[in-house]
Amino acid sequence: MEALYLLIPIAVGVMVIVVVAFIYSVKSGQYDDLEGPAHRILMDDDDPRIPGRQVKQPEKKAAVNPSEEKNG
């Protein structure tokens, strides 16, 4: 029982150190996407799946009667 008085504060202290180290590594950019920019350069510029890209939708043509297409 006396060992728990020592082990629990040590475990909490180690946990705090690990959490602080993890937060520091996330904020410093350790987990940023390193392969994304290399693959993104190979993608087509008008691909709508690329974040931040807005693709212009083609304008819809007015409905044309099929018989008018053949004559004109």
pLDDT in tens, 20-42: 999 999 999 888 887 887 777 77
Residue 11 lies in a domain: yes
Say how many C-beta atoms besides its own lie within 10 A of residue 50's C-beta.
13
Any idea which residue has 């602080």 for tokens?
Answer: 20
Highest mean predicted confidence (pLDDT) among 30-34, 41-45, 55-59: 30-34
Residue 12 lies in a domain: yes
Residue 13 lies in a domain: yes
Residue 53 lies in a domain: no
The residues, ordered by sequence, that sit 6+ positions from 33 with a Cβ below 8 Å of its Cβ are none
How many independent structural domains does the chain possess? 1
Mean pLDDT for all residues in the chain: 78
Identify the domain containing residue 23 by its residue range.
Answer: 1-29
The pTM (predicted TM-score) of the whole model is 0.47
Say which range, 1-5, 37-41, 46-50, has the weakest mean pLDDT: 46-50
Q: What is the pLDDT of residue 37?
A: 77
